[in-house]
Amino acid sequence: MNYPQFPKNCTSLLCKYLTPEVFDELKDKKTRYGYTLEQLIRSGVENVDSGIGVYAGDEESYELFAPLLDPIIREYHGFGPDDRHVSDMDPAHLQIGNPDPEGAYVLSTRIRVGRNLHCFPLGPNLSRRERLVVECMVSDALRALEGELAGSYHPLEGMDKETRERMIKDHFLFKEGDRFLEAAGLNRDWPEGRGIYHNTDKTFLVWVNEEDQLRIISMEPGADIASVFGRLAKAVKSLEKRLVFAFSERLGYITSCPTNLGTAMRASVHIRLPKLGKDMEKFKTITDRYELQIRGIHGEHSESEGSVYDISNKRRLGITEVQAVRQMAEGVEALIEEEKRL
């Protein structure tokens, strides 16, 4: 493999940190699961409009390819090579109120964490057979859940088109055909081995074998963030009794994309902000202050519709789960205050 050519206007972190020196240092390295630099960077090389551009193939990728990944991690999360990640998912430590008790702005709240099984490579490097074993282990663990978390697993293979499209539109199911994931090898053998688990009310859901092997999701209408977090914490605890998740002392929970390391948590609200939506400069000043990210109504790489935005924590590493959720809640309060003032 030769040093990749990036266009002059390329702004990905891959393009920024893959210097010819780093490339030469890493180009012949291979993890014990056989993951190479070429695989690590393929998504960003094929999609030059990437924000990041890399996907790890296993936990070892983060050590072996550290000369490229550490600077990316530092820039995205503000987390240095000597920092250590600390986890705190105790709902008793959250202590926040509902930022929109009258329901005038917030339509719904969703908090998800990514997880991967410690004894397997990550999705980009998972064989067809391993993916099926992961699906089997995860769906078995899910079937053992009880009470509010009890539900059923629905494989993507064989699901009728109408059901699939409705679940995507209603924000419950992942989209398909993402070109970033495609180039990373995450869509191989699609849709085999992928699926969704949900309880009756669809307030607790788990995506299986998408970007990460598990995306554990708690969501509900309104802005009762503490209730959503409490349900998620309970679910994660129950699943940990049956599954061992990949976790590093330094980087926290291991995920295929470095943006998700650490808590692997994205806590978001769908919020209607017609006035702030017309003043993006002011909007961004507030979201930057609280380190929040603005996404569109259908998630990543989508646009806002009807002045509804998806607002979530940007940092996931070097911050506890409780801190990430609290920061999101405080930012949402500040956004609502400004919207009222306008």
**Terminal-to-terminal C-alpha distance of the chain:** 55
266 part of the active site? yes
> H or E segment at 214?
strand 214-221
Rounded (to 5) percent helix, strand, coil in the chain? 40, 20, 45
135 part of the active site? no
Q: What angle in degrees, to the nearest 10, is found between the helix axes of 66-77 and 37-46?
A: 50
In the structure encoding, which two tokens stand for residue 196, read together? Answer: 């969704």
Radius of gyration (Cα) for the chain, nearest Å?
20
Least separation, in Å, of the C-beta of 61 and ligand ARG?
Answer: 15
Query: Which part of the chain contacts ligand ADP (CB under 6 A), choosing from 138-146, 229-237, 238-246, 297-305?
Result: 297-305
- Buried b or exposed e, range 258-277, using 16+ CB within 10 angstroms: bbbbbbbbbbbbbbbbeebb
Residues 25 to 54 in contact with ligand ADP, rule: CB under 6 A? none
Q: Contact between 257 and ligand ARG (CB under 6 A)?
A: yes
Q: Contact between 43 and ligand ARG (CB under 6 A)?
A: yes
Among residues 26, 41, 45, 53, the one that binds ligand ARG under rule CB under 6 A? 53
- Among candidate residues 36, 259, 263, 320, the one labeled active-site is 259
Is the CB of 171 or the CB of 242 nearer to ligand ADP? 171
Query: Which part of the chain contacts ligand ADP (CB under 6 A), choosing from 144-152, 268-276, 323-331, 333-341?
Result: 268-276
Residue 287 binding target from ligand ARG, ligand ADP, none, CB below 5 to 8 Å by type: none
Which residues have a Cβ under 8 Å from the Cβ of 147 and sit 6 or more positions away?
A: none
Least separation, in Å, of the C-beta of 30 and ligand ARG?
Answer: 22
Query: Which part of the chain contacts ligand ADP (CB under 6 A), choosing from 107-115, 147-155, 185-193, 195-203?
Result: 107-115
Binding mask 305-324 for ligand ADP (x = CB under 6 A): -----x--------------
Least separation, in Å, of the C-beta of 8 and ligand ARG?
Answer: 18
Among 218, 35, 28, smallest CA distance to 110 is for 218
Residue 259 binding target from ligand ADP, ligand ARG, none, CB below 5 to 8 Å by type: ligand ARG
Three-state DSSP string of 105-147: CEEEEEEEEEECECCCCCHHHCCHHHHHHHHHHHHHHHHCCCH
Q: HSE on the CB side for 240, CA within 13 Å?
A: 12
Least separation, in Å, of the C-beta of 44 and ligand ARG?
Answer: 6
- Residues 108/222, Cβ–Cβ less than 8 Å: yes
Among residues 108, 139, 227, 248, the one that binds ligand ADP under rule CB under 6 A? 108
Q: Which residue has the tokens 């989209």?
A: 175
DSSP notation for 303-330: --BTTEEEEEES--SSS-HHHHHHHHHH
Residue 51 binding target from ligand ADP, ligand ARG, none, CB below 5 to 8 Å by type: ligand ARG
110 part of the active site? no
Q: Contact between 194 and ligand ADP (CB under 6 A)?
A: no
Contact residues for ligand ADP, defined by CB under 6 A: 108-110, 112, 171, 215, 219, 266, 268-270, 295, 298-300, 310
Residues that bind ligand ARG (CB under 6 A): 43, 50-53, 180, 211, 257, 259, 300
